[in-house]
Amino acid sequence: MTTHSNSNNNGSNGNNGNNGSNGSNGVTEGLDELFGLFQSAHQDGTLSAASMQTLTIVDPGAQIQAGLGVRVEDVAASEVVLVAMMPDDSGSIRFAGNAEAVRRGHNAVLDALARSRQQADILVHTRYLNGHVLFPFCPIDQAVRMDKRNYNPSLGTPLYEQTVTLLATMVAKAQEFAEQGVPARTVTLLITDGADMHSSRARARDVANLVRDMQRAEQHVVAAMGISDGSTDFRAVFDEMGIDPRWVMTPGSSASEIRRAFQVFSQSAVRVSQAASFSGATLGGFAG
């Protein structure tokens, strides 16, 4: 599947400098460590047996590695907030004339987080809907802004498979910090202008199992933005994926509506990062 190939290449450019057998050994060790994180999360009760089975079937290990980024020991914080976005890079975004609005919206979220008084405790990560890692988890001042060179939407819509990959990345990164005694809260935004069309190894129910596991842990917010294509019932799509309707936005396809939706998300992400009680900060969803 081409999305796997793209992700592996993108991740290796940023994270693996070795070639030959040394590189292979490093990848194998990394996958072993990742499996250990998921096993620990399962033993802790964070991941259910159903989610573990999904991760086995989808097998996104190398893609997840590409997104993990900064090492826990290099983060000087007593608590962290992980914020990840998955912008749609399917061709319909470009055909609808919305590529620039998505770029600006994504960058505005980074700007808002950078202005937050908690910005030193926030790590960010962006992975496109078709698997390209724009940047792995890193401090906000190291994040890459979207522009015409790195974002030219022209691909498909593997919504379920890539959502599994991104959420599993969140679980793995949070588990990494937890095992070092650093509490982690996560906020994820999925962005699409269409229903799933190209997933072959994951279904909506697989995403829903993972989302429910994360919700039960009360450390994670999973949000979604469905940009109108004139026909898709995005609330039904995201409901089938297990996403709390309070964390769903369905903006129209105008640039102003899309930018406004990103602004609402950025305000919510900042609110979550600053809240003393995570559960209290999430009760209201976007309306809160």
Cβ proximity of 134 and 150 under 8 Å: yes
For the domain that residue 262 is a member of, what is the CATH number? 3.40.50.410
Contacts of 223 (CB under 8 A, 6+ apart): 187, 188, 189, 190, 243, 247, 248, 249, 265, 268, 286
168 occurs within a structural domain: yes
Q: How many domains does the chain have?
A: 1
At residue 28, the pLDDT reads 63
Give residue 12's domain range.
2-279
| pTM for this prediction | 0.87
Cβ proximity of 127 and 134 under 8 Å: yes
At residue 21, the pLDDT reads 46
Rounded Cα distance, 68 and 171, in Å: 10
288 occurs within a structural domain: no
179 occurs within a structural domain: yes
Instruction: Tell me the β-bridge partners of 226.
Output: 192
Per-residue pLDDT tens, the chain, 288 aa: give them: 333 334 333 443 434 444 444 555 555 666 778 888 888 888 887 888 988 888 888 777 888 999 999 999 999 888 999 999 999 999 999 999 999 999 999 999 999 999 998 899 999 999 999 999 999 999 999 999 999 999 999 999 999 999 999 999 999 999 999 999 999 999 999 999 999 998 988 999 999 999 999 988 888 999 999 999 999 999 999 999 999 999 999 999 999 999 999 999 999 998 888 776 565 455 568 865
Q: Which two tokens stand for residue 159?
A: 């919504």
At residue 54, the pLDDT reads 87
285 occurs within a structural domain: no
